[in-house]
Amino acid sequence: MIKVVIAEDDYRVARIHEEFIEKIAGAEVTGKALNAKATLELLEERSVDLLIMDIYMPDRLGSTLLPEIRKKYPHVDVIMISASNEKEQVEQSLRNGVIDYIIKPVSFERFNTAIKEYQKKKSLLNQKNELDQDLIDHFFRRTGQTTMDHKFPKGIDPLTLSKVKEILQEKKAGMNAVEIGSQMGASRTTARRYLEYLVSTGEASAELEYGIVGRPERKYYMD
């Protein structure tokens, strides 16, 4: 379970981010802070894996906290979420070790991608004492690569694939190929091709669902 602290001076935005976390399996919010002072106090008092922090807080810029956090709490990873897209702020955050930088307003899809990516990388590090080059390359490669960086197999269109992923993410209880096909306006065969591709890349999982009559149907879930 990933322990998350949210540092955000707008309590309404903090609540939105908390609701995002509540939708993601394997992550939970253990505290929220409205300013820099409270953020440091939470990091001192609680077990924290991930800090989601805004730059603009009433008593101090979040970006100026980073060196102190890196020194005192080297085990805490940081995702910066801010309305600031100024080059200086972004560069300062990256140089001080943030694992992601997201510009407000934040969509759930982008937020979910960041947390899932973090969970995968943390799990990888926890499972291995030594990493070979392939695993290191996997660690630094983001799942959100552009289509220019990634070649899809024949029959897999990136835009359609994105739609299938979006549908699956909204349905936490899982869906079969017929249900997916109906929502995306395609046949069950086409839907199954995309779903099986997601299973092969590790982005989704499948299990057999037995009905009252007929053959069992594979049900798919986003991981």
Does residue 145 have a pLDDT over 60?
no
Domain boundary among 75, 110, 125: 125
- 98 and 195 in a single domain? The answer is no
Q: Which amino acid is residue 35, in one-letter code?
A: N
Does residue 167 have a pLDDT over 60?
yes
Which range, 142-151, 179-188, 202-211, has the best average confidence (pLDDT)? 179-188
Q: What is the CATH number of the domain that holds 11?
A: 3.40.50.2300
Q: Tell me the pLDDT band of 12, cut-offs 50, 70 and 90.
A: very high
Establish if 146 belongs to a structural domain. no
- 25 and 110 in a single domain? The answer is yes
Q: Tell me the pLDDT band of 208, cut-offs 50, 70 and 90.
A: confident
Domain boundary among 125, 143, 171: 125
Does residue 116 have a pLDDT over 80?
yes
Number of domains in the chain: 2
Q: What is the CATH number of the domain that holds 189?
A: 1.10.10.10
Alpha-carbon distance 192 to 190, whole Å? 5
Q: Which of 7-11, 60-64, 135-139, 145-149 has the lowest mean pLDDT?
A: 145-149
Q: What angle do CA 74, 80, 85 make, to 5 degrees?
A: 140
Establish if 176 belongs to a structural domain. yes
More confident position, 191 or 209: 191
- 121 and 187 in a single domain? The answer is no
pTM above 0.85, yes or no: no
Q: Which amino acid is residue 129, in one-letter code?
A: N
Establish if 174 belongs to a structural domain. yes
Whether the CB-CB separation of 220 and 175 falls below 8 Å is answered with yes
Which range, 32-41, 155-164, 183-192, 205-214, has the best average confidence (pLDDT)? 32-41
- The domain in which residue 197 lies consists of 158-222
